[in-house]
């Protein structure tokens, strides 16, 4: 069973050529499932261009949105993009919208997923920043501050995302046909997926918008969880979280603008 996870394809910046090459490379690996972990392209017609490339990958495709994908335009609000436009577009191509529904594969593998968002739990501990400071600083680190046009706070939306993915994981854990769970999120959910640079003040301040560690804490008790793959930071990382029920392998996809990458999981 081979699952390939890619993320942060940013077709708005690279165009489709690098994605076509990526898809050709992924297809040669004969995957059983391909997961796209968000930041595929904005606005929506570019997101669609990205999805169209994956019609040729030769495997079922599961899709998550990233923060860039829900940036509002004159015609499309963030809520419309997140709740209607992107899910409908994904389903119309025959792909699975993982944000709303876990995937239970016949081979006994369950996939849960979410954009994840950030709840400031990845903030740099040495800076002692309050939520109010982080809200005020956000426009300097994350364009989401001006481009996401809903009224929800980061903590409110992140809480909704957390509730959904934990619910997905719970139903997979309880499903006797499922032997192991793979979680895919746009935003990293474990500290070992976060690139910490304590000596670099600007970098350390930005960490608050690059993780949702509360999801990781709440997924860890699910004994079937064996793999966590995320995107968003564009900094490739590989690690292991040890626990009594057995290790969880963690990774971040190393894609950057114009240089898409994928991670292979063989189960």
Instruction: Please state the closest distance from residue 186 (CB atom) to Fe ion, in A.
Output: 6
Query: 185 or 226, CB closer to Fe ion?
Result: 185
Nearest distance in Å: CB 199, Fe ion: 24
Cβ atoms < 10 Å from Cβ of 202: 9
Measured CA to CA, the distance from residue 193 to residue 178 in angstroms comes to 26
- Give the SS3 label for residue 41: coil
Tell me the angle at which helices 154-174 and 131-141 cross, rounded to the nearest 10 degrees. Answer: 90
**Contact partners, residue 55, CB within 8 Å, separation at least 6:** 93
Residues 58-87 that bind Fe ion (CB under 5 A): 66-67
Angle at alpha carbon of residue 158, lines to 266 and 36, rounded to 5°: 30
Q: Among 18, 37, 39, 260, which residue interacts with Fe ion (rule: CB under 5 A)?
A: 39
Phi and psi at residue 237, to the nearest 5°: -145, 145
Piece of 3-11, 76-84, 99-107, 213-221 that binds Fe ion (CB under 5 A): 3-11
- Using CB under 5 A, count the residues that bind Fe ion: 5
Token pair belonging to 47: 């997101």
232 binds Fe ion (CB under 5 A): yes
Q: How far is the CB of 38 from Fe ion (least distance, A)?
A: 6
Interface segment toward Fe ion; rule CB under 5 A; list 110-118, 126-134, 141-149, 232-240: 232-240
Using CB under 5 A, which of the segments 23-31, 34-42, 170-178, 241-249 binds Fe ion?
Answer: 34-42
State which residue, 42 or 67, has the beta carbon closest to Fe ion: 67
CB distance 3 to 265 below 8 Å: yes
Nearer to Fe ion, 42 or 226 (CB): 42
Task: Catalog residues that contact Fe ion under the rule CB under 5 A.
Answer: 8, 39, 66-67, 232
């Amino acid at each position: 069973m081979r699952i390939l996870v890619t993320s942060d394809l940013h077709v708005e910046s690279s165009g489709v050529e690098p994605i076509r090459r990526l898809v050709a490379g992924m297809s040669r690996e004969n995957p059983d499932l391909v997961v796209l972990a968000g930041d595929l392209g904005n606005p929506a017609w570019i997101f669609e261009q990205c999805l169209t490339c994956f019609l040729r990958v030769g495997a079922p495709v599961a899709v998550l949105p990233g923060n860039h994908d829900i940036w509002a335009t004159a015609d499309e609000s963030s809520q419309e993009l997140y709740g209607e436009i992107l899910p409908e577009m994904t389903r119309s191509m025959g792909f699975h919208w993982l944000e709303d529904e876990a995937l239970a594969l016949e081979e006994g593998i369950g996939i849960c997923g979410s954009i994840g968002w950030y709840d400031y739990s990845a903030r740099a501990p040495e800076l002692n920043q309050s939520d109010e400071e982080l809200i005020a600083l956000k426009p300097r680190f994350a364009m989401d501050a001006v481009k996401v046009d809903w009224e929800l706070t980061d903590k409110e939306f992140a809480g909704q995302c957390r509730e959904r993915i934990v619910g997905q994981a719970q139903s997979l854990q309880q499903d006797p046909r499922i032997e192991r769970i793979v979680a895919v999120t746009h935003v990293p959910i474990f500290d070992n997926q976060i690139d910490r640079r304590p000596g670099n003040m600007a970098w350390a301040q930005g960490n608050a918008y690059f993780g949702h560690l509360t999801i990781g804490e709440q997924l860890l008790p699910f004994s079937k969880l064996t793999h966590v793959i995320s995107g968003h930071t564009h900094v490739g990382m590989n690690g292991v979280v040890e626990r009594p029920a057995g290790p969880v392998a963690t990774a971040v996809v190393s894609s950057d603008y114009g240089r898409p990458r994928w991670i292979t999981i063989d189960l």
